[in-house]
Structure formats: structure tokens, C-alpha cells
């Protein structure tokens, strides 16, 4: 991503999202965001894009072996989940009392 301007994303750590594209696409199953990687425009979502990683034995992990873990996916492949309407929704930002808040376009609720 460009380093000139800081990107603005509507998804934050701890939000519930649905995966709208890719191998793990499921528009009915909301999942939790574990991490947002701003400079690469990627998110780490719980239970999505599972990869197998082969680890060598070390002082912390004396056995080593194969470990399954989540890998980041692009932020455009996820959409925020509206808990009130139980559907994916777009987000708009407005100011309330001098503070920027995210509002669901489908239900009008503050996220």
C-alpha cells in the first residue's frame, strides 16, 4: 500500500465480520477479527484461511511438527456484520458529540 497517506478502514479489531469472497466465503456465519494489519490492508479473522506451518523443535516447542494457524486475508474480502438485522452491512461515518462513530447503513445503529 502507499505510504503517503494512512489508510482508513471501517473494520477494527474485535468486530464481527463475514467473509464475502474466497475459499472460506460464508455470508451467514459471523466471525471475529483478531488483528488488522493497516500497512498491508489485511485482516486476521478467526477460523479463516487456515494454513499448515511446519515448525522445527526449539526451546519453547520441544516436539516441533505441523501447526495449523490462521493467515491474513485482504480487507476487501470481509464485510461488517449487523447484529440487529443479522446481515452483512456497509458502514458510514458521522460525528456525534465531536467523536467519529461508525453507523450501520442497514439498521442505522451505532457499531
Q: Which pTM value belongs to this model?
A: 0.84
Question: pLDDT tens for residues 12-50?
Answer: 999 999 999 999 999 999 999 999 999 899 999 999 999
What confidence category does residue 6 fall into, taking pLDDT thresholds of 50, 70 and 90?
Answer: confident
Domain ranges of the chain: 16-83
Question: pLDDT tens for residues 94-105?
Answer: 999 999 999 999
CA 104 to chain centre: 16
Positive or negative: CA dihedral 6, 11, 14, 20:
negative
Strand 26-37, strand 42-45: pairing:
antiparallel
Instruction: Tell me what pLDDT residue 7 has.
Output: 83
Q: How far apart are the C-alpha atoms of 67 and 16, rounded to whole Å?
A: 25
**Grid coordinates of 66:** 505441523
Amino acid at each position: 500500500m502507499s505510504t503517503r497517506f494512512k489508510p482508513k478502514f471501517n473494520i477494527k479489531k474485535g468486530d464481527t465480520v463475514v467473509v464475502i469472497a474466497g475459499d472460506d466465503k460464508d455470508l451467514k456465519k459471523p466471525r471475529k477479527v483478531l488483528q488488522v494489519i493497516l500497512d498491508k490492508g489485511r485482516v486476521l479473522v478467526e477460523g479463516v484461511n487456515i494454513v499448515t506451518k511446519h515448525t522445527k523443535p526449539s526451546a519453547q516447542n520441544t516436539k516441533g511438527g505441523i501447526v495449523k494457524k490462521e493467515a491474513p486475508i485482504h480487507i476487501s474480502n470481509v464485510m461488517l456484520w449487523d447484529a440487529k438485522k443479522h446481515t452483512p452491512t456497509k458502514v458510514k461515518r458521522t460525528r456525534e458529540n465531536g467523536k467519529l462513530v461508525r453507523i450501520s447503513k442497514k439498521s442505522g445503529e451505532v457499531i
